[in-house]
A and B are shown apart, each in its own frame.
Chain A
Amino acid sequence: MIKVDQLRISFGTHEVVRGVSFDVPRGGSFGIVGESGSGKSTVLRAMAGLNEDWSGRIAFDGNSAPLKRPPVFFRQVQMVFQDPFGSLHPRQTVDRILSELLLVHTLPDIEKRIKQALSDVALPQTVRFRYPHQLSGGQRQRVAIARALIAEPQILLLDEPTSALDVSVQAEILNLLADLRQARNLTYVLVSHNLAVIAHLCPQLGVMLNGEMVEQLSTDDLRAGRTKHAHTADLRTLSINLEEPA
Protein backbone atom coordinates (compact mmCIF):
# COMPACT_ATOMS: atom_id res chain seq x y z
CA MET A 1 0.00 0.00 0.00
CA ILE A 2 2.78 2.39 0.95
CA LYS A 3 6.29 2.10 -0.39
CA VAL A 4 9.05 4.49 0.56
CA ASP A 5 12.34 3.88 -1.17
CA GLN A 6 15.66 5.63 -0.53
CA LEU A 7 13.98 8.81 0.64
CA ARG A 8 16.43 11.67 1.07
CA ILE A 9 15.53 15.13 2.38
CA SER A 10 17.86 18.10 2.82
CA PHE A 11 17.32 21.50 4.35
CA GLY A 12 19.92 23.65 2.62
CA THR A 13 23.17 21.76 2.81
CA HIS A 14 22.09 19.74 5.83
CA GLU A 15 20.78 16.31 4.98
CA VAL A 16 18.18 15.37 7.64
CA VAL A 17 16.82 12.17 6.10
CA ARG A 18 19.44 9.92 4.58
CA GLY A 19 18.01 7.11 2.54
CA VAL A 20 14.97 5.80 4.40
CA SER A 21 13.06 2.83 2.95
CA PHE A 22 10.06 0.94 4.28
CA ASP A 23 6.87 -0.77 3.12
CA VAL A 24 3.45 -0.90 4.72
CA PRO A 25 0.87 -3.46 3.53
CA ARG A 26 -2.80 -2.53 3.03
CA GLY A 27 -4.55 -2.32 6.39
CA GLY A 28 -1.19 -2.38 8.12
CA SER A 29 0.19 -0.02 10.68
CA PHE A 30 3.80 1.06 10.74
CA GLY A 31 5.39 2.97 13.60
CA ILE A 32 8.42 5.25 13.37
CA VAL A 33 10.18 5.92 16.64
CA GLY A 34 13.15 8.15 17.32
CA GLU A 35 14.38 11.12 19.30
CA SER A 36 13.59 14.67 18.31
CA GLY A 37 15.77 15.67 15.39
CA SER A 38 16.05 12.12 14.10
CA GLY A 39 14.01 13.04 11.01
CA LYS A 40 10.90 10.98 11.74
CA SER A 41 8.41 13.84 11.34
CA THR A 42 10.27 15.07 8.26
CA VAL A 43 9.68 11.70 6.58
CA LEU A 44 5.97 11.93 7.36
CA ARG A 45 5.66 15.50 6.10
CA ALA A 46 7.32 14.55 2.81
CA MET A 47 4.88 11.65 2.48
CA ALA A 48 1.95 13.99 3.05
CA GLY A 49 3.22 16.35 0.37
CA LEU A 50 4.01 19.15 2.80
CA ASN A 51 7.61 19.30 1.69
CA GLU A 52 8.39 19.24 -2.00
CA ASP A 53 12.12 19.05 -1.62
CA TRP A 54 12.95 15.38 -1.49
CA SER A 55 14.43 12.68 -3.67
CA GLY A 56 13.82 8.97 -3.82
CA ARG A 57 10.48 7.30 -4.26
CA ILE A 58 7.24 7.53 -2.30
CA ALA A 59 4.44 5.38 -3.70
CA PHE A 60 0.88 4.89 -2.51
CA ASP A 61 -1.08 1.94 -3.86
CA GLY A 62 1.57 1.31 -6.49
CA ASN A 63 1.54 4.85 -7.88
CA SER A 64 4.58 7.02 -7.35
CA ALA A 65 3.60 10.29 -5.72
CA PRO A 66 4.72 13.35 -7.69
CA LEU A 67 6.57 16.16 -5.92
CA LYS A 68 3.53 18.40 -6.29
CA ARG A 69 0.43 16.52 -5.19
CA PRO A 70 -2.84 16.86 -7.14
CA PRO A 71 -6.03 17.47 -5.10
CA VAL A 72 -7.20 13.91 -5.65
CA PHE A 73 -4.16 12.69 -3.68
CA PHE A 74 -5.62 14.16 -0.51
CA ARG A 75 -8.74 12.05 -0.87
CA GLN A 76 -6.46 9.07 -0.46
CA VAL A 77 -3.97 10.27 2.14
CA GLN A 78 -4.63 12.49 5.14
CA MET A 79 -2.56 13.58 8.11
CA VAL A 80 -3.23 14.23 11.81
CA PHE A 81 -0.86 16.60 13.56
CA GLN A 82 0.62 16.61 17.01
CA ASP A 83 -0.83 19.75 18.44
CA PRO A 84 -4.62 19.98 18.36
CA PHE A 85 -4.29 23.59 19.54
CA GLY A 86 -2.28 24.66 16.53
CA SER A 87 -3.76 22.52 13.78
CA LEU A 88 -7.36 23.77 13.88
CA HIS A 89 -8.31 27.20 12.57
CA PRO A 90 -9.13 29.29 15.67
CA ARG A 91 -11.77 31.39 13.93
CA GLN A 92 -13.64 28.62 12.19
CA THR A 93 -16.34 26.52 13.79
CA VAL A 94 -16.02 22.76 13.77
CA ASP A 95 -18.73 22.74 11.09
CA ARG A 96 -16.65 24.97 8.83
CA ILE A 97 -13.45 23.04 9.53
CA LEU A 98 -15.12 19.78 8.53
CA SER A 99 -17.02 21.12 5.53
CA GLU A 100 -13.93 22.79 4.01
CA LEU A 101 -12.59 19.48 2.77
CA LEU A 102 -15.94 18.43 1.35
CA LEU A 103 -16.28 21.70 -0.54
CA VAL A 104 -12.75 21.47 -1.93
CA HIS A 105 -13.39 17.96 -3.21
CA THR A 106 -17.00 18.81 -4.18
CA LEU A 107 -18.41 15.86 -2.29
CA PRO A 108 -22.19 15.57 -1.92
CA ASP A 109 -24.25 15.17 1.28
CA ILE A 110 -22.24 17.59 3.39
CA GLU A 111 -24.88 17.61 6.11
CA LYS A 112 -24.96 13.84 6.44
CA ARG A 113 -21.20 13.42 6.25
CA ILE A 114 -20.49 15.93 8.99
CA LYS A 115 -22.99 14.26 11.31
CA GLN A 116 -21.48 10.89 10.52
CA ALA A 117 -17.91 12.15 10.99
CA LEU A 118 -18.72 13.54 14.42
CA SER A 119 -20.41 10.36 15.57
CA ASP A 120 -17.54 8.27 14.15
CA VAL A 121 -15.10 9.96 16.50
CA ALA A 122 -17.62 9.82 19.38
CA LEU A 123 -18.22 13.55 19.60
CA PRO A 124 -21.70 14.85 20.47
CA GLN A 125 -23.51 16.65 17.64
CA THR A 126 -23.55 19.77 19.82
CA VAL A 127 -19.86 20.50 19.19
CA ARG A 128 -20.61 21.10 15.52
CA PHE A 129 -21.13 24.84 15.88
CA ARG A 130 -18.46 25.46 18.47
CA TYR A 131 -15.04 26.99 18.03
CA PRO A 132 -11.88 25.00 18.81
CA HIS A 133 -11.15 27.07 21.92
CA GLN A 134 -14.46 25.92 23.38
CA LEU A 135 -13.34 22.29 23.26
CA SER A 136 -10.97 20.30 25.44
CA GLY A 137 -7.65 19.01 24.08
CA GLY A 138 -9.02 15.50 23.59
CA GLN A 139 -12.12 16.81 21.80
CA ARG A 140 -9.94 18.94 19.56
CA GLN A 141 -7.83 15.96 18.60
CA ARG A 142 -11.05 14.09 17.79
CA VAL A 143 -12.06 16.96 15.50
CA ALA A 144 -8.67 16.74 13.80
CA ILE A 145 -9.18 13.00 13.28
CA ALA A 146 -12.73 13.60 12.00
CA ARG A 147 -11.38 16.15 9.53
CA ALA A 148 -8.77 13.69 8.30
CA LEU A 149 -11.36 10.93 7.87
CA ILE A 150 -14.21 12.90 6.35
CA ALA A 151 -12.94 12.55 2.78
CA GLU A 152 -12.71 8.79 3.34
CA PRO A 153 -8.97 8.36 2.82
CA GLN A 154 -7.32 4.93 2.84
CA ILE A 155 -4.15 6.12 4.50
CA LEU A 156 -3.73 8.13 7.68
CA LEU A 157 -0.39 9.71 8.59
CA LEU A 158 -0.25 10.36 12.33
CA ASP A 159 2.40 12.69 13.74
CA GLU A 160 2.55 12.25 17.53
CA PRO A 161 -1.25 12.23 17.76
CA THR A 162 -1.37 11.86 21.55
CA SER A 163 1.74 13.48 22.96
CA ALA A 164 -0.03 16.77 23.76
CA LEU A 165 -2.78 14.95 25.67
CA ASP A 166 -3.29 13.66 29.20
CA VAL A 167 -2.68 9.94 29.70
CA SER A 168 -6.38 9.31 30.32
CA VAL A 169 -7.35 11.09 27.11
CA GLN A 170 -4.48 9.41 25.27
CA ALA A 171 -6.05 6.04 26.07
CA GLU A 172 -9.37 7.15 24.54
CA ILE A 173 -7.73 8.47 21.36
CA LEU A 174 -5.58 5.35 20.94
CA ASN A 175 -8.67 3.16 21.30
CA LEU A 176 -10.48 5.32 18.78
CA LEU A 177 -7.63 5.04 16.27
CA ALA A 178 -7.51 1.27 16.70
CA ASP A 179 -11.30 0.98 16.17
CA LEU A 180 -11.30 3.19 13.10
CA ARG A 181 -8.48 1.28 11.51
CA GLN A 182 -10.31 -1.98 11.97
CA ALA A 183 -13.69 -0.63 10.84
CA ARG A 184 -12.40 1.02 7.66
CA ASN A 185 -9.36 -1.09 6.87
CA LEU A 186 -7.17 2.01 7.07
CA THR A 187 -3.40 1.99 6.71
CA TYR A 188 -1.51 3.95 9.33
CA VAL A 189 1.95 5.41 9.58
CA LEU A 190 2.42 6.59 13.16
CA VAL A 191 5.32 8.71 14.33
CA SER A 192 6.04 8.99 18.04
CA HIS A 193 8.85 9.23 20.53
CA ASN A 194 6.91 7.02 22.90
CA LEU A 195 7.74 3.38 22.32
CA ALA A 196 4.77 2.14 24.32
CA VAL A 197 2.32 4.09 22.15
CA ILE A 198 3.92 2.72 18.96
CA ALA A 199 3.93 -0.82 20.30
CA HIS A 200 0.27 -0.53 21.23
CA LEU A 201 -0.87 0.51 17.77
CA CYS A 202 1.71 -0.90 15.35
CA PRO A 203 2.75 -4.52 14.81
CA GLN A 204 5.80 -3.34 12.82
CA LEU A 205 8.13 -0.45 13.52
CA GLY A 206 11.25 1.34 12.36
CA VAL A 207 13.79 3.08 14.59
CA MET A 208 15.33 6.31 13.35
CA LEU A 209 18.61 7.84 14.41
CA ASN A 210 20.28 10.85 12.78
CA GLY A 211 18.20 10.64 9.62
CA GLU A 212 18.66 6.94 9.05
CA MET A 213 16.31 4.10 9.79
CA VAL A 214 18.76 1.98 11.71
CA GLU A 215 16.45 -0.94 12.35
CA GLN A 216 13.07 -2.35 11.36
CA LEU A 217 11.51 -5.03 13.48
CA SER A 218 8.19 -6.43 14.66
CA THR A 219 6.72 -5.37 17.96
CA ASP A 220 6.90 -8.98 19.14
CA ASP A 221 10.63 -9.03 18.51
CA LEU A 222 10.95 -5.73 20.35
CA ARG A 223 9.07 -7.08 23.37
CA ALA A 224 11.17 -10.20 23.43
CA GLY A 225 14.34 -8.11 23.22
CA ARG A 226 15.44 -9.42 19.82
CA THR A 227 16.92 -6.09 18.78
CA LYS A 228 19.91 -5.68 16.51
CA HIS A 229 20.86 -2.04 16.87
CA ALA A 230 22.14 -0.59 20.14
CA HIS A 231 19.85 2.44 19.88
CA THR A 232 16.75 0.22 19.74
CA ALA A 233 17.94 -1.62 22.80
CA ASP A 234 18.49 1.69 24.62
CA LEU A 235 15.02 2.95 23.79
CA ARG A 236 13.53 -0.36 24.90
CA THR A 237 15.35 -0.35 28.25
CA LEU A 238 14.34 3.24 28.93
CA SER A 239 10.72 2.59 28.08
CA ILE A 240 10.57 -0.46 30.34
CA ASN A 241 12.26 1.34 33.23
CA LEU A 242 9.89 4.27 33.12
CA GLU A 243 6.61 2.48 32.57
CA GLU A 244 6.76 0.48 35.77
CA PRO A 245 5.92 2.51 38.85
CA ALA A 246 8.83 2.67 41.29
Chain B
Amino acid sequence: MLVDIKNLRIAFETRTSRFEAVRGVSMQLGTEKLGIVGESGSGKSLTARALMKLLPNNAKIEADTLSFDGIDILGASERGMRQIRGKRAGFILQDPKYSLNPVKTVGSQIAESWRTHKKGSRKEAAEAAIELLDQVMIRNPRKVAAAYPNEISGGMGQRVMIAMMLAPDPELLIADEPTSALDATVQAEILRLIDDLVSRRGMGLILISHDLPLVSHFCDRVAVMYSGRVVEELKASELVKAQHPYTKGLLNCMPSLMHPKERLPVLNRDAAWLNP
Protein backbone atom coordinates (compact mmCIF):
# COMPACT_ATOMS: atom_id res chain seq x y z
CA MET B 1 0.00 0.00 0.00
CA LEU B 2 1.56 3.26 -1.15
CA VAL B 3 -0.56 5.59 0.93
CA ASP B 4 -2.49 4.62 4.02
CA ILE B 5 -4.54 7.20 5.86
CA LYS B 6 -6.76 6.23 8.78
CA ASN B 7 -8.88 8.66 10.74
CA LEU B 8 -6.94 11.78 9.82
CA ARG B 9 -7.92 14.92 11.70
CA ILE B 10 -6.55 18.39 11.05
CA ALA B 11 -7.50 21.26 13.31
CA PHE B 12 -6.52 24.90 13.41
CA GLU B 13 -6.17 26.39 16.85
CA THR B 14 -6.07 29.99 17.83
CA ARG B 15 -5.92 31.45 21.30
CA THR B 16 -9.67 31.40 21.63
CA SER B 17 -11.05 28.87 19.22
CA ARG B 18 -10.48 25.57 17.52
CA PHE B 19 -11.64 24.68 14.05
CA GLU B 20 -11.51 21.16 12.76
CA ALA B 21 -11.05 21.30 8.98
CA VAL B 22 -10.53 17.59 8.36
CA ARG B 23 -12.59 15.30 10.55
CA GLY B 24 -11.65 11.68 10.33
CA VAL B 25 -10.67 10.95 6.75
CA SER B 26 -9.52 7.48 5.78
CA MET B 27 -8.27 6.46 2.38
CA GLN B 28 -5.84 4.03 0.85
CA LEU B 29 -3.99 4.12 -2.41
CA GLY B 30 -1.86 1.64 -4.30
CA THR B 31 -0.54 2.23 -7.79
CA GLU B 32 -3.86 3.51 -8.98
CA LYS B 33 -5.55 6.79 -9.71
CA LEU B 34 -7.66 8.30 -6.97
CA GLY B 35 -9.69 11.47 -7.41
CA ILE B 36 -10.61 13.64 -4.45
CA VAL B 37 -13.54 15.89 -5.23
CA GLY B 38 -15.21 18.55 -3.14
CA GLU B 39 -15.89 22.25 -2.86
CA SER B 40 -13.38 24.74 -1.59
CA GLY B 41 -13.07 24.34 2.13
CA SER B 42 -13.97 20.66 2.12
CA GLY B 43 -10.48 19.68 3.27
CA LYS B 44 -9.28 17.96 0.11
CA SER B 45 -6.09 19.99 -0.29
CA LEU B 46 -5.32 19.77 3.43
CA THR B 47 -5.56 15.98 3.28
CA ALA B 48 -3.05 15.87 0.44
CA ARG B 49 -0.76 18.38 2.11
CA ALA B 50 -0.83 16.49 5.39
CA LEU B 51 0.58 13.54 3.50
CA MET B 52 3.61 15.65 2.57
CA LYS B 53 3.65 17.33 5.97
CA LEU B 54 3.29 20.66 4.27
CA LEU B 55 0.81 22.27 6.64
CA PRO B 56 1.12 25.64 8.35
CA ASN B 57 2.55 25.60 11.86
CA ASN B 58 -0.72 26.27 13.61
CA ALA B 59 -2.32 23.14 12.13
CA LYS B 60 -2.66 20.21 14.49
CA ILE B 61 -2.56 16.81 12.79
CA GLU B 62 -3.79 13.63 14.39
CA ALA B 63 -4.26 10.25 12.76
CA ASP B 64 -4.40 6.59 13.65
CA THR B 65 -2.26 5.89 10.60
CA LEU B 66 -0.66 8.29 8.17
CA SER B 67 1.93 6.49 6.16
CA PHE B 68 3.62 6.67 2.80
CA ASP B 69 5.02 3.36 1.60
CA GLY B 70 5.26 2.14 5.17
CA ILE B 71 6.97 5.28 6.46
CA ASP B 72 5.14 6.93 9.34
CA ILE B 73 4.67 10.55 8.26
CA LEU B 74 3.61 11.88 11.64
CA GLY B 75 6.79 10.63 13.27
CA ALA B 76 9.11 11.49 10.40
CA SER B 77 11.73 14.19 10.83
CA GLU B 78 12.05 17.15 8.47
CA ARG B 79 15.19 15.50 7.13
CA GLY B 80 13.27 12.31 6.49
CA MET B 81 10.46 14.24 4.81
CA ARG B 82 12.91 15.81 2.38
CA GLN B 83 13.72 12.32 1.16
CA ILE B 84 10.05 11.86 0.32
CA ARG B 85 8.98 15.26 -0.93
CA GLY B 86 9.79 15.63 -4.58
CA LYS B 87 11.88 12.48 -4.71
CA ARG B 88 9.24 9.86 -3.99
CA ALA B 89 6.10 11.93 -4.15
CA GLY B 90 5.68 14.85 -6.53
CA PHE B 91 3.24 17.66 -5.90
CA ILE B 92 1.74 19.58 -8.84
CA LEU B 93 0.23 22.86 -7.75
CA GLN B 94 -2.69 24.78 -9.12
CA ASP B 95 -1.34 27.84 -10.79
CA PRO B 96 1.91 27.71 -12.77
CA LYS B 97 2.00 31.51 -12.75
CA TYR B 98 2.65 31.59 -9.02
CA SER B 99 4.44 28.31 -8.54
CA LEU B 100 7.39 28.76 -10.89
CA ASN B 101 10.35 30.95 -10.06
CA PRO B 102 9.95 34.05 -12.25
CA VAL B 103 13.66 34.88 -12.43
CA LYS B 104 14.99 31.49 -13.53
CA THR B 105 14.55 29.84 -16.91
CA VAL B 106 12.21 26.89 -16.87
CA GLY B 107 15.00 24.60 -18.06
CA SER B 108 17.19 25.49 -15.11
CA GLN B 109 14.31 24.91 -12.71
CA ILE B 110 13.71 21.42 -14.05
CA ALA B 111 17.44 20.75 -14.04
CA GLU B 112 17.60 21.86 -10.41
CA SER B 113 14.92 19.41 -9.40
CA TRP B 114 16.70 16.62 -11.33
CA ARG B 115 20.10 17.41 -9.83
CA THR B 116 18.86 17.67 -6.26
CA HIS B 117 17.57 14.14 -6.31
CA LYS B 118 19.66 12.36 -8.91
CA LYS B 119 23.11 13.81 -8.35
CA GLY B 120 24.66 14.43 -11.74
CA SER B 121 26.64 17.07 -13.56
CA ARG B 122 25.12 20.34 -14.70
CA LYS B 123 25.40 19.20 -18.28
CA GLU B 124 23.55 15.95 -17.63
CA ALA B 125 20.88 17.86 -15.75
CA ALA B 126 20.37 20.29 -18.61
CA GLU B 127 20.05 17.38 -21.05
CA ALA B 128 17.62 15.63 -18.71
CA ALA B 129 15.52 18.79 -18.51
CA ILE B 130 15.18 18.89 -22.29
CA GLU B 131 14.34 15.20 -22.39
CA LEU B 132 11.65 15.75 -19.73
CA LEU B 133 10.18 18.70 -21.60
CA ASP B 134 9.96 16.44 -24.60
CA GLN B 135 8.13 13.82 -22.52
CA VAL B 136 5.46 16.33 -21.52
CA MET B 137 4.82 16.96 -25.22
CA ILE B 138 6.45 20.33 -25.60
CA ARG B 139 7.17 20.72 -29.28
CA ASN B 140 10.36 22.73 -29.13
CA PRO B 141 11.99 21.65 -25.83
CA ARG B 142 15.32 23.40 -26.37
CA LYS B 143 13.71 26.74 -27.00
CA VAL B 144 11.26 26.40 -24.11
CA ALA B 145 14.04 25.34 -21.71
CA ALA B 146 15.68 28.72 -22.27
CA ALA B 147 12.45 30.67 -21.71
CA TYR B 148 11.35 32.39 -18.51
CA PRO B 149 7.97 31.53 -16.97
CA ASN B 150 6.41 34.82 -18.12
CA GLU B 151 7.26 33.97 -21.71
CA ILE B 152 5.20 30.79 -21.85
CA SER B 153 1.45 30.16 -21.76
CA GLY B 154 -0.46 28.74 -18.78
CA GLY B 155 -0.80 25.32 -20.36
CA MET B 156 2.91 25.20 -21.12
CA GLY B 157 3.70 26.35 -17.58
CA GLN B 158 1.68 23.48 -16.20
CA ARG B 159 3.59 21.07 -18.44
CA VAL B 160 6.82 22.50 -17.10
CA MET B 161 5.60 21.90 -13.54
CA ILE B 162 4.76 18.31 -14.44
CA ALA B 163 8.19 17.84 -16.05
CA MET B 164 9.78 19.18 -12.88
CA MET B 165 7.85 16.76 -10.70
CA LEU B 166 8.67 13.82 -12.93
CA ALA B 167 12.42 14.54 -12.87
CA PRO B 168 13.21 12.48 -9.73
CA ASP B 169 10.97 9.57 -10.90
CA PRO B 170 8.48 9.69 -8.02
CA GLU B 171 6.22 6.77 -7.12
CA LEU B 172 3.29 9.02 -6.31
CA LEU B 173 2.00 12.13 -7.99
CA ILE B 174 -0.32 14.48 -6.16
CA ALA B 175 -2.02 16.99 -8.45
CA ASP B 176 -3.90 19.70 -6.59
CA GLU B 177 -6.35 21.30 -9.05
CA PRO B 178 -3.73 21.07 -11.81
CA THR B 179 -6.03 22.50 -14.46
CA SER B 180 -8.38 24.99 -12.83
CA ALA B 181 -6.32 27.93 -14.08
CA LEU B 182 -6.47 26.64 -17.65
CA ASP B 183 -9.12 26.70 -20.33
CA ALA B 184 -11.20 23.73 -21.39
CA THR B 185 -9.12 22.45 -24.31
CA VAL B 186 -5.80 22.72 -22.48
CA GLN B 187 -7.41 21.22 -19.38
CA ALA B 188 -8.22 18.02 -21.21
CA GLU B 189 -4.74 17.86 -22.78
CA ILE B 190 -2.97 18.25 -19.43
CA LEU B 191 -5.15 15.66 -17.71
CA ARG B 192 -4.62 13.23 -20.57
CA LEU B 193 -0.89 13.82 -20.28
CA ILE B 194 -0.90 13.18 -16.52
CA ASP B 195 -3.05 10.11 -17.03
CA ASP B 196 -0.74 8.77 -19.70
CA LEU B 197 2.48 9.41 -17.76
CA VAL B 198 1.09 7.89 -14.58
CA SER B 199 -0.03 4.73 -16.38
CA ARG B 200 3.20 4.42 -18.30
CA ARG B 201 5.46 4.86 -15.30
CA GLY B 202 3.26 2.82 -12.96
CA MET B 203 2.83 5.60 -10.43
CA GLY B 204 0.06 6.31 -7.99
CA LEU B 205 -1.98 9.44 -8.59
CA ILE B 206 -4.07 11.62 -6.31
CA LEU B 207 -6.01 14.10 -8.42
CA ILE B 208 -7.75 16.86 -6.50
CA SER B 209 -10.49 18.81 -8.23
CA HIS B 210 -13.92 20.31 -7.85
CA ASP B 211 -15.12 19.08 -11.21
CA LEU B 212 -16.64 15.67 -10.63
CA PRO B 213 -17.43 14.55 -14.20
CA LEU B 214 -13.99 15.66 -15.35
CA VAL B 215 -12.18 13.70 -12.65
CA SER B 216 -14.18 10.59 -13.39
CA HIS B 217 -12.59 10.42 -16.83
CA PHE B 218 -9.07 10.22 -15.49
CA CYS B 219 -9.37 8.25 -12.24
CA ASP B 220 -10.15 4.70 -11.15
CA ARG B 221 -11.77 5.72 -7.89
CA VAL B 222 -13.33 8.94 -6.65
CA ALA B 223 -13.65 10.08 -3.03
CA VAL B 224 -16.17 12.86 -2.50
CA MET B 225 -15.41 15.15 0.42
CA TYR B 226 -17.79 17.46 2.20
CA SER B 227 -16.91 19.58 5.19
CA GLY B 228 -13.86 17.61 6.25
CA ARG B 229 -15.24 14.12 5.72
CA VAL B 230 -15.39 11.63 2.91
CA VAL B 231 -19.11 11.29 2.32
CA GLU B 232 -18.87 8.78 -0.48
CA GLU B 233 -16.20 6.75 -2.20
CA LEU B 234 -16.94 4.92 -5.39
CA LYS B 235 -15.53 3.63 -8.65
CA ALA B 236 -15.32 6.33 -11.29
CA SER B 237 -17.27 4.16 -13.68
CA GLU B 238 -20.14 3.91 -11.19
CA LEU B 239 -20.52 7.63 -10.66
CA VAL B 240 -23.98 7.67 -12.19
CA LYS B 241 -25.05 5.27 -9.45
CA ALA B 242 -23.92 7.63 -6.69
CA GLN B 243 -26.07 7.36 -3.56
CA HIS B 244 -25.18 10.42 -1.52
CA PRO B 245 -27.32 13.50 -2.25
CA TYR B 246 -24.22 15.71 -2.18
CA THR B 247 -22.53 13.68 -4.92
CA LYS B 248 -25.72 13.76 -6.95
CA GLY B 249 -26.02 17.48 -6.36
CA LEU B 250 -22.48 18.10 -7.62
CA LEU B 251 -23.25 16.14 -10.77
CA ASN B 252 -26.55 17.89 -11.41
CA CYS B 253 -25.53 21.48 -10.85
CA MET B 254 -23.22 21.57 -13.89
CA PRO B 255 -24.60 23.38 -16.92
CA SER B 256 -24.75 21.00 -19.82
CA LEU B 257 -24.45 21.56 -23.53
CA MET B 258 -26.55 18.61 -24.58
CA HIS B 259 -29.14 18.59 -21.80
CA PRO B 260 -30.21 22.20 -21.43
CA LYS B 261 -31.93 23.07 -18.17
CA GLU B 262 -34.10 26.08 -17.61
CA ARG B 263 -32.60 26.60 -14.16
CA LEU B 264 -29.61 24.91 -12.65
CA PRO B 265 -30.44 22.85 -9.58
CA VAL B 266 -28.74 24.35 -6.54
CA LEU B 267 -27.36 22.26 -3.70
CA ASN B 268 -29.66 22.24 -0.71
CA ARG B 269 -27.21 21.53 2.03
CA ASP B 270 -28.60 19.15 4.59
CA ALA B 271 -27.28 19.51 8.14
CA ALA B 272 -27.29 15.73 8.37
CA TRP B 273 -24.41 15.57 5.83
CA LEU B 274 -22.13 17.08 8.44
CA ASN B 275 -22.41 14.21 10.88
CA PRO B 276 -23.30 10.99 9.14
Contacts and interface: CB of A to CB of B under 8 A. Distances in A.
- Tell whether A pairs with B: yes
Interface of A: 35-37, 136-137, 166-172, 174-175, 178, 193-197, 199-200, 219, 222-223, 234-236, 238-246
The 3 closest A-B pairs by CB, nearest first: A193-B183, A200-B255, A171-B253
Contacts of B264: 171-172, 174-175, 200
Contacts of A136: 40-41
B253 A238 contact: no
Given A167-B250, A245-B216, A174 B255 contact: yes
Contact of A195 (B39, B184, B249, B265): B184
A243 B177 CA distance: 17
A38 to B, nearest CB: 9
B1 interface: no
7 contacts: A36-B153, A170-B254, A171-B254, A175-B263, A238-B185, A242-B213, A246-B239
B112 to A, nearest CB: 28
Nearest to B258: A240
A242 B39 contact: no
Main secondary structure of the interface of A (DSSP, over half): helix
B257 interface: yes
B213 A244 contact: yes
A243 B154 contact: no
Contact of B266 (A172, A195, A236): A172
B237 interface: yes
A39 to B, nearest CB: 13
Nearest to A169: B39
A36 B257 contact: no
Interface in B178-225: 182-186, 188, 210-214, 216-217
A167 B210 contact: yes
Nearest to A166: B39
Contacts of A235: 184-185
B6 to A, nearest CB: 28
Contacts of B121: none
Given A246-B216, A246-B237, A223 B183 contact: no
B272 interface: no
Interface residues of B, number: 39
Nearest to B249: A168
A173 B260 CA distance: 17
Given A36-B155, A167-B211, A171-B267, 12 more contacts: A36-B154, A136-B41, A167-B212, A170-B255, A171-B255, A196-B254, A222-B257, A238-B188, A241-B188, A244-B213, A246-B236, A246-B237
B257 A196 contact: yes
A223 B259 CA distance: 9
B271 interface: no
B40 to A, nearest CB: 6
A238 B184 contact: yes
A199 B255 contact: yes
A243 B183 contact: no
Most A CB within 10 A of own CB, among B184, B249, B264: B184
B184 A37 contact: no
B216 A243 contact: no
B240 interface: yes
Contacts of A222: 257
Contacts of A178: 263
B184 A168 contact: no
Interface in B227-276: 236-237, 239-240, 249-251, 253-258, 260-261, 263-267
Contacts of A166: 39-40, 210
B255 A197 contact: yes
A242 B184 contact: yes
Interface string B26-51: 00000000000001110000000000
B213 A245 contact: yes
Contacts of A172: 264, 266
A239 B250 contact: no
Contacts of B154: 36
Contacts of A219: 260
Contacts of B265: 171
